[in-house]
Chain A
Amino acid sequence: MRLPPGTRDWLPAELRRKRAVEAVMRGVFERWAYSEVQTPNYERFDALEAGLGEAVSRQTFLFNDKSGTQIALRPEMTTPVARLASTRMREAPLPLRLSYIAPAYRYEDPQEGRMREYTSAGLELIGPQSLEADAESLFTAIEALDALGLTDTLFDINHVAIVDGVLAGLELDAAGIAQAKTLISGRIIVALRARLAGTGSDAEVEEIVRLALMRGRDDVLAIARRLCHTDAGHAGIDRLRALLARASELGYGDRLNVDLSLLRDFNYYTGFIFEGFAHEVGFELCGGGRYDTLLPRFGFDVGAVGWSLAIERILLALERRHSTRFGAAPAIDVLVSGLDVVAARERAAGHVVRIDFDGLGEKELIAEARLHKIPRVVFAHDGAVREIEVS
């Protein structure tokens, strides 16, 4: 019996850890006043297509139902939640604070941290386009990873308009800008320098290359300020500066960096973007940003900002740290031999009860309890009920 590539089973200890991590995430979402929603695991592809980028569309599992309608397994949660908000919740007062923890499916080469079936957890803040909304999205993510014990997760932030504003000073057509952004995003510095050569003064090209290598705070923003040619880019710099200031007040200052090479799926995001990562794992732990053009595609003219993470990646990071914080087996409170009614009374009292099937005698029962670190046994035979504390 073989599973399809990119899928997995969850054995009891593994699933306990996963559920514990999900419970922590859910707790953070609730404390920030987010409400969990659920959408179907599969939907009509035409309903999702409007929101999915081209790359994600290509990775979507598609099939036809018996009527010939094309059905998609949802590849991510943001688009279904946007669809839900645009249809069923458009009369609700804004902002909408929605969260989810749900499986999603992507047809990609299975590898560490990239499974075809994965559990997406995240939130969407729908309505405001303000600094406050961007800050809330970032701080919820930091708090979630902190609550999971990943307190040294680093967060890199960017605003998509800045790189556009910097590249606007060069002689590049739309295709050239897209190429340059791909090279900046992958930090393919050698090819970036070659691509930009001759599109502006040597000094300006060298400064842009240097900016692509940099990661920092006010120093990066100061250089970006000098090189940026658009109002939108300058507004983006202002927003990052303001975000850094607010983050410092919460004590997050040292964990945040501006990284202009952070260009997550740049056809999708429209403003502030961020990723969180830990050095043990070779990919980001969480990521998100502002996507103000998504809900309008569903006819709902509001902005939105949100983030998500794959629960499986969190589990991997915790495993790499040998964290034993989550998923300890639930302790058994009492081992019962004999009457069902005695066991029922124990369960009603809220105890975890294991029932002996082996017909053990009293001494053997105590030995069994000691072996499994069960603190109490109840021996209920021949009309007598004896309760024994196991030392």
Chain B
Amino acid sequence: MSESLTIAVPKGSLYEDAARSLRAAGIDLPEDPGRKLFVIASDGTRILLLRPTDVPAYVEFGAADCGIVGADVLWETERHVCQLADLDFGACRLVVAARRTDRYHEGAQLPTFLRVATKFERSAETFFAERDVPVQIVKLHGSVELAPLVGLADLIVDLVATGNTLREHDLVVVNEIASSTARFVVNPVRYRAKYAAITALLGKLDARVVTV
């Protein structure tokens, strides 16, 4: 049984911090992955460079033994992966937001039937269902903040890191649903089959983790 690992790493905004974490564990990653699909580090570790939302699938099906992914991505999938550590970077919040001028954030009465635009269909559905608020979810793939400005939706559910995007469009937070940071995730069977290698990596990652 080979003990060298295959790690799923997200490209995009989390890449730099993910690479820094892994370098702390002695795995050399390129500064800029460019358009590469995977790289092999000098210690033999295979690094898959993926769209962030694809990381859970690669790990669940064992194409990667483990990976790094934002908690926000995990909320949206029903993938069975172990979440072993909070890596404490990539902080953002999933919020319900609306136009400032609608004054929902100050307690103004919401319409009886709400239309909510979001990329986070599942999280949004759960949030409103738990509060028994009937809503129609409109799934969008980008520029969600446009939806309330042009009357597509009353509310949006979206991720905010700094809040700049909301401010630019005169949107305000009505509710905070959850806060997210990057997670170290592992395939449950590979955790057992490659226990020594994975726990060694876990102990070296630059994270708030316990050593096993």
Contacts and interface: CB of A to CB of B under 8 A. Distances in A.
Interface of A: 112, 152, 154, 156, 186-191, 206, 209-210, 213-215, 257, 259, 277-284
Given A209-B210, A213-B199, A214-B212, A188 B193 contact: no
B60 A154 contact: no
Contact of B192 (A156, A189, A210): A156
Contacts, number: 64
A190 B83 contact: yes
B192 A187 contact: no
Interface stretch (B122-130, B136-144, B182-190): B182-190
A188 B192 CA distance: 15
Given A187-B84, A215-B192, 19 more contacts: A112-B61, A186-B82, A187-B186, A188-B83, A189-B82, A189-B83, A189-B84, A190-B83, A210-B210, A213-B84, A213-B212, A215-B195, A277-B192, A279-B189, A281-B189, A282-B60, A282-B62, A282-B187, A282-B190
Given A187-B191, A213-B212, A279-B194, A152 B1 contact: yes
Nearest to A284: B189
The 7 A-B residue pairs with the shortest CB-CB distance, nearest first, are: A187-B82, A279-B193, A282-B62, A190-B86, A188-B83, A210-B210, A213-B212
Nearest to A206: B210
Given A213-B212, A279-B1, A189 B85 contact: yes
B80 interface: yes
Contacts of A188: 82-83
Contacts of A186: 80, 82, 188
A214 B210 CA distance: 11
Contact of B210 (A154, A187, A213, A282): A213
A202 B193 CA distance: 30
A214 B198 CA distance: 11
A191 B183 CA distance: 11
A279 B210 contact: no
Contacts of A282: 60-62, 187-190
Interface in B70-121: 71, 80, 82-86
A213 B80 CA distance: 16
A356 B212 CA distance: 68
Nearest to B1: A279
B58 to A, nearest CB: 11
Nearest to A281: B189
Interface residues of B, number: 26
A67 to B, nearest CB: 39
Contact of B193 (A112, A154, A191, A206): A154
A188 to B, nearest CB: 5
A117 B111 CA distance: 47
Nearest to B61: A282
A281 B192 CA distance: 12
Nearest to A262: B192
A280 B192 CA distance: 12
Contact of A191 (B61, B83, B212): B83
Contacts of B86: 190
Interface string B173-212: 0000000000100111111111100010010000000101
A156 to B, nearest CB: 6
Contacts of A215: 191-192, 195
A31 B84 CA distance: 42
Interface string B148-187: 0000000000000000000000000000000000010011
B88 to A, nearest CB: 10
A284 B192 CA distance: 11
Contacts of A190: 71, 83-86, 183
Contacts of B189: 277, 279, 281-284
Contact of B188 (A187, A213, A257, A280): A187
Contacts of A187: 82-84, 186, 188, 191
Contacts of B195: 215, 257
B192 A259 contact: yes
21 contacts: A112-B61, A152-B1, A187-B188, A188-B82, A190-B83, A190-B84, A190-B86, A190-B183, A210-B212, A213-B84, A213-B202, A213-B210, A213-B212, A257-B195, A259-B192, A279-B190, A280-B62, A282-B60, A282-B188, A282-B190, A283-B189
A155 B61 CA distance: 20
Nearest to A214: B212
A215 B193 CA distance: 11
A209 B190 CA distance: 19
Contacts of A214: 212
